[in-house]
Chain A
Amino acid sequence: MAKETKEKKQEEMTWRDLEVGCVVCKPGSACSYRTGDWRSRRPIWDHEKCIKCGLCYLFCPDACVSQKEGKFQADLDYCKGCGICAQECPTSAIKMVEEEQ
């Protein structure tokens, strides 16, 4: 919602920097808003138990589970720690662990 001429982080913007009506004029700005800091627990995969069924990938409401070199993982910039992946995993390969400061 910043005016296009300004390149400030939202946290640093003053009310004068806001576009009229808080319109967002630039596409893709959601990428720069990392919502992962809402999370209080993070998912950890036990790759020994994982059978690569992909249910975690399918159920993730934030579409932040992906496969890297055959292994599933969550993008922690956006994972909010809801635990749905752990709940749905048929082999209990995912554990939710507390975030630490």
Chain B
Amino acid sequence: MRKRVGMEVSLACSEAARLSRVDVVSAYPITPQTHIVERLAEMVAKGQLDAEFLCVESEHSAMSACLGSSAVGARVFTATAGQGLELMHEVLYVASASRLPIVMIVANRALSAPLNVWGDHSDVMAVRDTGWIQYFAENGQEAFDLVPCAFKIAENRNVLLPVMVHMDGFHLTHVVESLYLMSQEEVDSYLPPYEPLHSLNPDKPVTMGAFAAPFIYTEAKKAQQEAVRDSKQYILQAWKEFGALTGREYTPLKSYMMDDAEEVFFVIGSFSEMASVAVDKMRERGEKVGLLSLKLWRPFPTEELKEALRGKQLVAVLDRSLSPGTESPLFTEVRSSIYDMREKTRVIGFIGGLGGRELSPDDFEQMMERARTLSHNGFVGQAEMIGVRD
């Protein structure tokens, strides 16, 4: 039986990247992600990691250097957060459309203004459509595990797409958790060396990033859309293999007390653990409440979601971001996914946990209470922000 170790989650993530034998780390420090790449820089400096650490002048350059490094066939890792992710924005599309299997941890953070470095999903939602595979870790163990999984998925010849591993800033990055690490032998047995399909090599010249005129751009985008949709089976396969190796298997949706549940909390990220405490308390009172935590964000697991919500009466969706002028992204995607189901599940959306605002189990209980009242009154849609002072 392997021993648990107590470790800051950011440092566990650095360890996961080291064990994944990354060749290149190109990054720019930004709160709350800094500890991850800081530790990787230290590992390279001390000779504990045989990799190139590129200290670049911005996140735009960080992701651009990732592109170049990945294009020559290196295994590439980076991490960023909030504003840093935004500065990378245009390069993210190039990475995915060029089918470069870069892995990036995003320590989810609010976006300015006002300046706020705390946990929030505004940064995630702004890169929703960049064509990356994206999934969420909800605790330190998952953040660690999902890094080797990310390389396994990204580098699969049938996938060849970059992967973002999302973890909530501070709530995950800066806590010390008790977790199982893996040995180098275990990771090696799971993750073979990367063999690129195409790489920039003077002996076999190719062009990457050529332009596409209107008569071919649509076909290029269709190919990309199919690649991302098709990747789900390989994501599931990689998670299954990881489960066989470690006993920890991941699924697109994590269920808690869902079998006989009539009312469901729907969350992403680290708040799922807070919500599960609320579920326990409500179950003690005999309320048939369950919890769904979305792990796989892109490709969106529509089929699994339909299956999980089949026959449920009410689902309360928590978004940690805004789409000013309309409803928040998680809410709209959940509602859209189940819209054509015969048996209607009422969907009530909430916004909370913005910019590091805490939500307690009591808040979750009140959220469900509010969802019931609103639903009873015929309200359908996204309700108010939780705890906003009016």
Contact = CB atoms under 8 A, between A and B. Distances in A.
A22 B99 CA distance: 9
Interface residues of B, number: 21
Contact of B98 (A10, A16, A21, A25): A21
A27 interface: yes
Nearest to A27: B205
B1 interface: no
Contacts of B89: none
B210 A20 contact: no
B244 interface: no
B222 interface: yes
Contacts of A17: 219
Given A11-B215, A20-B197, A25 B220 contact: no
B226 A15 contact: yes
B208 interface: yes
B348 interface: no
B219 A21 contact: no
B206 A24 contact: yes
A21 to B, nearest CB: 4
Given A23-B206, A23-B208, A18 B219 contact: yes
Interface hub of A15, A18, A19 (most chain B Cβ within 10 A): A15
Interface of B: 97-100, 160, 197-198, 205-208, 210, 212, 215-216, 219-220, 222-223, 226-227
Given A15-B219, A16-B223, 5 more contacts: A11-B215, A18-B216, A22-B223, A23-B207, A24-B208
16 contacts: A1-B220, A11-B216, A13-B216, A16-B223, A18-B219, A18-B223, A20-B198, A20-B227, A21-B99, A22-B98, A22-B210, A23-B208, A24-B206, A25-B198, A25-B206, A27-B205
